[in-house]
A and B are shown apart, each in its own frame.
Chain A
């Protein structure tokens, strides 16, 4: 676990961020760029219109190796790992016996006896401990996070900008496909067509020692077509507009995938994964609270922790829940947010009130992502 006294950690690209004059913050024990001189809105727009380059090397990579690797991964996650072919990935959650979410992650099947799980930076130690405790004797577990860098390359022009740097035919990679045999700028990498922005794009894994050269090559390619480096600030506005959950905000040890709107990653035929009984029970009995997206109708920005109410203070309705994330959506130009409310008040169209530091601001629950990228 990360403690308050631990020295914040640096990714292999820390010096690159300093040289780019990034604003650096301590994010869950990691010194990370929150934004570069252009600022969050320009970085957000560059990702929506061209390409953004993100250092996400703080994320964790845990490898599962051995003949029982498939069974081990399946025991830990709610999605159906048996459906994966080599070179494909899927989004999943790992749950506690209670159904609470240990982490959300992506499972990459390298081979029948080799999987890589990419997990949240703040959960690496917790996950590795959890995985070891439950399947440590089933296969070899290897936390490669400290040796592995990860650069995300996201935006409508990502494929066009990346292709000249690699002889690998990127059209062969559909969404959630990956390759372990490519080179980018002459460096050995893994390329996955995954991301966290709502845009097309790639996540490129490399050895720490190659990270700077890869970053410089990707950044140069991005700049040529109007792209730029993007920090955690815009990463948050991008994922929120696309209504992607963030662990620690929407997802916690105390929320279940059904509450979080992640029923689509729970496959009860997938085997006896941890948390299955609790989730079956919740599937039958229903949930008491649900994660909803909302758009602010009045003037105000919802923030993590603000309370959500049924009516304004003049009314009689009580508290419905609280906000997990909120921001201005730079592309949609609306103040948006996510939060948990009582299930009976979670229907799209429902009017709610957010207590914005004593000022009650009306909002409306809406369905689906706030932003969807235009499809060709």
Chain B
């Protein structure tokens, strides 16, 4: 299993990542999540303008095996959606942090960022889960 976790990202226990730049966060799912899912066949994302609430479902990913919910790592309004991902869901398997990004959100509550894990904490969390 890959240990591909960029150190400029923040992470959640639901295996989402967020790249926070000012008041905007780009959101996706981690290599661990992608490895668990296996081959992704469909990605359903919210529309621009929708409000995401912390920890609530904002979309879903279908893999060959099963369907999995996406949980918002932060609250905010969706300002950009990676629409090409709908036509090439396999890019989520190939590049979860690049072409596999899902949405950008304008943060409603920037304090929530402090609750996210940095890469060291996330990798420790993964290790703990595996034991």
Contact surface of A with B, Cβ cutoff 8 Å: 23, 34-35, 39-41, 233, 237, 299-301, 303, 327-328, 330, 357
Report the bound CA distance from A337 to B39 in whole Å.
18
Indicate if the CB atoms of B39 and A301 lie closer than 8 Å.
no
In the complex, B67 has a CB within 8 A of chain A: yes
Indicate if the CB atoms of A41 and B67 lie closer than 8 Å.
no
- A233-B38, A301-B42 as given contacts; A41 in contact with B60, CB under 8 Å: no
Report the bound CA distance from A34 to B60 in whole Å.
22
Indicate if the CB atoms of A40 and B64 lie closer than 8 Å.
yes
Q: Map CB proximity to A onto B28-68 as digits: 1 under 8 Å, 0 otherwise.
A: 00000000001101100000000000000000101011110
Indicate if the CB atoms of A301 and B67 lie closer than 8 Å.
yes
In-complex Cβ contact of B62 among A39, A41, A301 (8 A): A301
Count of chain B residues near A, Cβ 8 A: 11
B contact residues around A39 at 8 Å (CB): 38-39, 93
A37 to B, closest residue via Cβ:
B1
B42 to A, closest residue via Cβ:
A301
Report the bound CA distance from A351 to B39 in whole Å.
29
In-complex Cβ contact of B66 among A35, A299, A303, A330 (8 A): A303
Indicate if the CB atoms of A40 and B42 lie closer than 8 Å.
no
3 A-B pairs closest in CB distance:
A40-B64, A328-B41, A41-B39
Report the bound CA distance from A233 to B60 in whole Å.
20
In-complex Cβ contact of B65 among A40, A299, A300, A330 (8 A): A40
Report the bound CA distance from A41 to B65 in whole Å.
10
In-complex Cβ contact of B41 among A23, A301, A303 (8 A): A301
B36 to A, closest residue via Cβ:
A23
Contact surface of B with A, Cβ cutoff 8 Å: 38-39, 41-42, 60, 62, 64-67, 93
Indicate if the CB atoms of A40 and B39 lie closer than 8 Å.
yes
Report the bound CA distance from A40 to B39 in whole Å.
7
Report the bound CA distance from A237 to B64 in whole Å.
8
Report the bound CA distance from A41 to B62 in whole Å.
14
Indicate if the CB atoms of B67 and A233 lie closer than 8 Å.
no
CB distance from A220 to the nearest CB of B (A): 25
Report the bound CA distance from A243 to B66 in whole Å.
19
CB distance from B66 to the nearest CB of A (A): 7
A contact residues around B64 at 8 Å (CB): 40-41, 233, 237, 327-328, 330
B contact residues around A300 at 8 Å (CB): 42
Please list 11 pairs of residues, one from A and one from B, whose beta carbons are closer than 8 Å in the complex, sorted by A's number: A34-B65, A39-B93, A41-B39, A233-B38, A233-B65, A237-B64, A301-B41, A301-B67, A303-B67, A330-B64, A357-B60
Report the bound CA distance from A328 to B15 in whole Å.
24
Indicate if the CB atoms of B42 and A299 lie closer than 8 Å.
yes
CB distance from B96 to the nearest CB of A (A): 14
Report the bound CA distance from A301 to B61 in whole Å.
10
A contact residues around B67 at 8 Å (CB): 301, 303, 357
Report the bound CA distance from A35 to B64 in whole Å.
11
